[in-house]
Amino acid sequence: MQKISFLLGVALLLAACQKTARPDVENKATETQNRKCASEEVLQAQLAADPSLRQRMKDIEDFTQNLIARGKLTRTEAVSGTVPVVVHVLYNTPQQNISDAQIKSQVDVLNEDFNLQNKDISGVPSVFVPREGTIGFRFQLAQTIRKQTSVTTWLPNDDMKYSSKGGDDVVDPDHKLNLWVCNLGDGLLGYAQFPGGKPATDGVVIGYFCFGRTGGKLEPRFDKGRTATHEIGHWMNLRHIWGDKTCGNDLVDDTPQATTYNFGCPSFPKYNSCNSGEIEMTMNYMDYTDDACMYMFTKGQSNRMNAVFFNGGPRSAFFQ
């Protein structure tokens, strides 16, 4: 799909994350709920609080598009290394204090999903197999921080990222991916901060109930650790597959247009209702489908993610 201007891309993002109501997890949420994120709310709040963020995001997008256009990311040596991961476990009840095994399982999922090592990659339809992409670097657990808190439910206002608000402060965001695992309310599974935001809030927030693939989780729809895969995709500058607008643009060349988000497990093939009439890539990690029905990134998405870490990119310090 053709590139659109960055400012329009931001406008599309502000329309993101369609709401699907569900009860709070502590009040017996069930598998009937649908995936829900908070990108719109978080980005709007950040843009309102820091008007300079818009220009920083535009600069990052210009850098990304120029890098891809010059073919710099076609080299396998473009980015290599390990992304250290810090997991902040914020718990109010024993159930929310997830196990080390559950944390390990999530890191394993990330290394599989981002490197074409997930077992369900074999389910990619033949028409999309040539587009499968891998990032070429790995994730490694660097630190687990456990903190009991009096906060029973967290909202997408970044309070969990501050010790002064009952959460836990970010750890070395220039060199480490911070994941906050907590009891998210308002029907959320997770949310992420895009590149360009302030360091104090940089990272990803995931509900403890859908983190990893072992322990207390929402079965059977969100029990394979794909919420973190989806949200870390945002942290590495990926947009939703539908471009956050009806027949929108996700700024990636090799992802077909999607009419809108998809829930559950859509039957294949599903054609969009846009002018192109293409088959939608509902199995892409950046859709809203269930964990078992999302299992691929594309080469174009891999290029965007690699650009973030490339020399001169917003997260280049990770590999320096």
Gap between the Cα atoms of 261 and 239, Å rounded: 12
Element (DSSP H or E) covering residue 218: none
Is 231 a residue of the active site? Answer: yes
> 73-79 contacts: CB < 8 A, separation 24 or more?
73/302, 73/303, 73/306, 73/307, 73/310, 76/136, 78/136, 78/306, 78/310, 79/135, 79/136, 79/137, 79/306, 79/309, 79/310, 79/319
One-letter amino acid of 11 = A
* Burial group, residue 171, by CB count within 10 angstroms (0-12, 13-18, 19+): middle
Gap between the Cα atoms of 225 and 45, Å rounded: 27
Gap between the Cα atoms of 131 and 284, Å rounded: 11
Q: Which of 309, 314, 317, 312 is nearest to 80 (CA)?
A: 309
Dihedral pair phi/psi, residue 181, rounded to 5°: -110, 120
Rounded (10°) CA dihedral 273, 276, 277, 281: -90
Out of 40, 41, 61, 231, the active site residue is: 231
Gap between the Cα atoms of 37 and 19, Å rounded: 8
User: Structure tokens of 288?
Assistant: 């809203």
**Residues assigned a catalytic role:** 231
